[in-house]
């Protein structure tokens, strides 16, 4: 039975691996997408205490300190914090952020972060226009408010996220830094992430406080960090892992059938 569980956990881990690679490949052209990575861990059985009813049966007691492996476990997908190159688009509502920072948007379940700066002006419920993602999530300023379009003229956005309408500044787009993004960020769909651990640090709350390695570029996008060649290689490895575990499961089943036939014979 041990071989059944080992093969089964291997197949489940292989399936998780395949899903993660498929997610990366499907987002190879998504602006701001950061590659998902993952790892595997051993699963162990607990130490079994000797039972009084089996104390006299040789071989029924687990040796002291014994830990038996039951296969492998796929850990949660982690976000690779590497950033992509900047691609010029010439569209005023496209924003790229360089350096270790994210935009903050308001999703139905609360604030999320994203590096996908493919934004648009959308009609606000109370009138006027607000800056949103393609899914309609409002882009937030340093005070947690939606970015409203100032007037009807052209809008320019400075490198620190300050929004200008040709007359003066109105709001400043929040740029957020997340400590240990590999552990703190959880993919939430729509090119956004939930922050599951630690606070979101707004790093441009006041003028002149933005770190020198972070800046906003208007009319550009941060391209995906997925390497298609590497992703296809990983896909082949994941598929082979799944197939080998499936073959091992079938072999274990045949061995059990052979043992049952010998016992009946």
Q: Are residues 125 and 12 in the same domain?
A: no
Q: Are residues 101 and 47 in the same domain?
A: no
Higher pLDDT, 44 or 116: 116
Q: Are residues 16 and 46 in the same domain?
A: yes
Q: Are residues 116 and 170 in the same domain?
A: yes
Is residue 172 within 8 A of residue 142, CB to CB? The reply is: yes
Q: What is the pLDDT of residue 222?
A: 95
Q: Are residues 15 and 130 in the same domain?
A: no
* pLDDT tier, 22 (very low <50, low <70, confident <90, very high otherwise): very high
Neighbour count for residue 73 (Cβ, 10 Å): 15
- Of 123, 130, 113, 114, give the one whose Cα is nearest residue 27: 114
| Token pair belonging to 49 | 């205490």
Q: Are residues 258 and 209 in the same domain?
A: no
Partnered with residue 38 across adjacent β-strands are: none
Give the residue numbers spanning the domain of 245.
Answer: 2-28+40-74+227-264
Q: What is the pLDDT of residue 117?
A: 95
In the chain, % of residues over pLDDT 70: 85
Q: What is the pLDDT of residue 207?
A: 84
In the chain, % of residues over pLDDT 90: 49
99-143 pLDDT, tens digit per residue, is 999 999 999 999 999 999 999 999 998 888 999 999 999 999 999
Q: Are residues 159 and 213 in the same domain?
A: yes
Name the domain count of the chain.
2
Is 80 a member of any domain? no
Q: What is the pLDDT of residue 227?
A: 93
Is residue 140 within 8 A of residue 134, CB to CB? The reply is: no
Q: Are residues 125 and 23 in the same domain?
A: no
Q: What is the pLDDT of residue 9?
A: 80
| Token pair belonging to 137 | 């999530």
DSSP 170-185: EEEB-EEE-SSHHHHE
Q: In the predicted model, is pLDDT for residue 252 greater than 80?
A: no
Q: Are residues 186 and 147 in the same domain?
A: yes
Mean pLDDT of 185-210: 89
Q: Are residues 213 and 106 in the same domain?
A: yes
pTM: 0.78
* pLDDT tier, 57 (very low <50, low <70, confident <90, very high otherwise): low
Q: Are residues 110 and 127 in the same domain?
A: yes
Using the structure block, give the residue that is written with the tokens 């489940």: 12
Most confident range, picked from 4-8, 90-94, 125-129: 90-94
Q: Are residues 185 and 234 in the same domain?
A: no
Q: In the predicted model, is pLDDT for residue 68 greater than 90?
A: no
Is residue 40 within 8 A of residue 73, CB to CB? The reply is: yes
| Token pair belonging to 175 | 């740029």
Helix or strand (DSSP H, E) at 71: strand 69-74
Q: In the predicted model, is pLDDT for residue 258 greater than 90?
A: no
Is 33 a member of any domain? no
């Amino acid at each position: 039975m041990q071989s059944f569980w080992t093969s089964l956990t291997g197949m489940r881990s292989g399936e998780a691996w395949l899903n993660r690679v498929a997610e990366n490949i499907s987002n190879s052209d998504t602006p701001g997408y950061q590659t998902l990575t993952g790892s595997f861990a051993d699963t162990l059985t607990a130490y079994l205490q000797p039972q009084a009813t089996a104390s006299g049966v040789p071989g029924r007691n687990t040796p002291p300190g014994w830990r038996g492996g039951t296969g492998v476990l796929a850990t949660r997908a982690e976000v690779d914090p590497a950033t992509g190159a900047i691609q010029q688009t010439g569209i005023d509502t496209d924003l790229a952020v360089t350096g270790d920072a994210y935009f903050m948007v308001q999703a139905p379940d609360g604030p999320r972060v994203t590096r996908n700066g493919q934004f648009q002006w959308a009609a606000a419920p109370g009138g006027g226009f607000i800056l949103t993602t393609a899914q309609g999530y409002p882009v937030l300023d340093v005070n947690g408010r939606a970015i409203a379009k100032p007037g009807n003229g052209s809008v320019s956005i400075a490198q620190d996220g300050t929004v200008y309408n040709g007359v003066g500044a109105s709001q400043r787009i929040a740029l957020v830094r997340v400590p240990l993004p590999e552990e703190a960020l959880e993919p939430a769909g729509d090119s956004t992430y939930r922050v599951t651990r630690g606070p979101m640090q707004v790093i441009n709350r006041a003028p002149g406080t933005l770190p020198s390695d972070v800046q906003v570029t208007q009319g550009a996008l941060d391209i995906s960090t997925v390497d298609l060649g590497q992703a296809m290689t990983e896909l082949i490895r994941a598929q082979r892992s799944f197939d080998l575990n499936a073959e091992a499961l079938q072999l274990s089943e045949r061995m059990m059938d052979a043992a049952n036939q010998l016992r009946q014979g």
